[in-house]
Copies of this chain bind each other. A is one copy, B any other.
Amino acid sequence: MKVICPGSFDPVTNGHLDVFKRAAQIADEVTVAVLVNRTKSGLFSVDERMEILREVTSSLPNVRVDSFHGLLVDYCREHEIQAIVKGLRAISDFDYELQMAQMNYRLADVETLFVSTNPQFSFLSSSLIKEISRYGGDVEGLVPQAVLERLPAKFSDTM
């Protein structure tokens, strides 16, 4: 089975990494794909996010990193990917994700497999990481080392 883990990953957190590892254990090939949003610039550029993702997944041999623009199901069809793997953290994820899952199945028979993330990362999100880092809060243990090293430079001139 070929699966995809799509997301903005701006930046990737240890919660995302937990989902990649779970996906790598159940699938033959995992694509971690950065969704490119042309109308919104992130904290990290798409190239930086892919570079970081390659670093943090380097120990997972069946994971490749890519980016995509447009409909996720089109990317899946093109690359013969059968399923999307998403982490479910909380109830508020559930509704939107279920909606997207049913739409993606209808559009292109692409299945969505939800995995429960490790509860110790259940309160994590990329935007929370950015908010804490902006004010000098400590996010060690919440993001991979590759993100931890790059965060200070991002906020050096914003305060």
Which of A's residues lie within 8 Å of B, judged by CB? 1, 22, 25-27, 70-71, 73-74, 82-83, 88, 90-92, 94-96, 98-103, 105-107, 111-116, 118-125, 128, 132, 135-138
Residues of B with C-beta under 8 A to A111: 22, 25-26, 115
Contacts of A102 in B (CB 8 A): 116, 118-119, 122-123
Contacts of A91 in B (CB 8 A): 91, 94-95
CA separation between A115 and B78, bound complex, in Å?
A: 22
Query: Are A115 and B112 touching (Cβ within 8 A)?
Result: yes
Contact among B92, B105, B113, B123 with A103 in the assembled complex (CB-CB below 8 Å): B123
Structural contact, A92 and B88, CB atoms closer than 8 A: no
- Are A83 and B135 interface neighbours, CB within 8 A? no
Chain B nearest Cβ from A90, distance in angstroms? 5
Q: Which of A26, A98, A105, A116 has its CB near the most chain B CB atoms (within 10 A)?
A: A116
Residue in B94, B113, B116, B137 whose beta carbon sits within 8 Å of that of A71 in the complex = B137
Q: Determine if B116 and A112 form an interchain contact, defined as CB atoms under 8 angstroms apart.
A: yes
Given contacts A107-B132, A112-B115, contact A83 B123 (CB under 8 A): no
Does the CB pair B119–A82 fall under 8 Å?
A: no
**How far, in whole Å, are A58 and B82 apart by their CA atoms in the complex?**
23
Chain B residues lying within 8 Å of A95, measured Cβ to Cβ, are: 90-92
- Distance from A74 Cβ to chain B, minimum over Cβ atoms (Å): 7
